[in-house]
Amino acid sequence: KSSITLDLAARYSRGWSMPPDAGCSEVRNPGNVLIFAAEDPVDSVVAPRLIAADADMSRISVFESIEHDDGTEDLPRLPSNAAAFEAEIVEKEIGLVIVDVLNCFTDPGLNAYVDTDCRKITTPLAKIAERNNCAILFLRHLNKSTGQSAAHRGGGSMALLGAARVGWLAGQHPDDDEAKVLCCTKSNLAQRPQSIAYNIEKARNGNPRI
């Protein structure tokens, strides 16, 4: 999921569309990206993978920590740090925000499996996105359940997917061990697009790329 998400970030920073459309041959309106990365080190993992995807690094920002009044630093948390979250978006004129993964950036005590707690997180995110005309893409791990529909495979409450306008699932191709698939599990904005199969290869800098 992180590889395909960083590919999306790179494409947005360049103004490239997604295959099977124009791909990298047509430049539309490039934009600025803000990444909240909790699980992968920025210098050794996130940045090299963005470079492998040919991102415009001048348009990529990473929000790693927030400083408290006592001088300590911690991951920015939602909803308590929503104001700082939004200030970063406004200052850097961000069009795409990537939160990888959502549960690492939520306030302690909130339960991702409780609907009311989920709404405490997603409601301020939706308002921030609307006020600043930006898209916010948050990632989740898959749950351990099998035999469920794709829409039910995301970790946490269904309220998380319910709050989103569009849902995506990245997973193994059912008929090709070497391929992955990105499919749309929900779309309230338009007709669902077709699924896209993709492979992960090694780029010239040795990092994975789509």
Q: Which amino acid is at 64?
A: E
- Please enumerate in sequence order all residues whose Cβ is within 8 A of that of 190, keeping only pairs 6 or more positions apart, or say none: none
On whether the CB atoms of residues 13 and 56 are closer than 8 A, the answer is: yes
On whether the CB atoms of residues 9 and 98 are closer than 8 A, the answer is: yes
Give me the pLDDT at residue 104, please: 83
Tell me how far apart the alpha carbons of residues 158 and 4 are, in angstroms, rounded to a whole number: 23
Give me the pLDDT at residue 22, please: 64
Give me the pLDDT at residue 158, please: 67
Residue 16 is given by DSSP the state: B
Tell me how far apart the alpha carbons of residues 187 and 94 are, in angstroms, rounded to a whole number: 23
Give me the pLDDT at residue 89, please: 95
pLDDT tens for the chain, residues 1 to 210 = 788 999 999 999 999 988 876 667 677 889 999 999 887 888 999 999 999 999 999 999 998 777 777 878 888 888 998 998 999 999 999 999 999 888 888 888 888 778 888 888 889 999 999 999 999 999 886 656 555 555 555 555 566 777 888 999 898 898 999 999 999 989 998 898 889 999 999 988 889 999
- Taking only the tens place, the pLDDT of each residue in 132-162 is 999 999 988 665 655 555 555 555 556 677 7
Both tokens of residue 4? 């395909």
Q: Which amino acid is at 22?
A: A
Give me the pLDDT at residue 144, please: 60
Give me the pLDDT at residue 64, please: 78
pTM listed for this prediction = 0.87
Q: Where are the alpha helices (DSSP H) in the chain?
A: 2-14, 47-52, 82-91, 115-132, 158-163
CA 139 to chain centre: 5
Tokens 């492998």 locate to 52
Give me the pLDDT at residue 133, please: 96
Edge-to-edge strand order for the sheet containing 166-172? 166-172, 180-187, 196-198
Count of residues for the chain?
Answer: 210
Q: Give Cα separations from 191 to 65, 96, 155, 184 (angstroms).
A: 38, 21, 25, 10
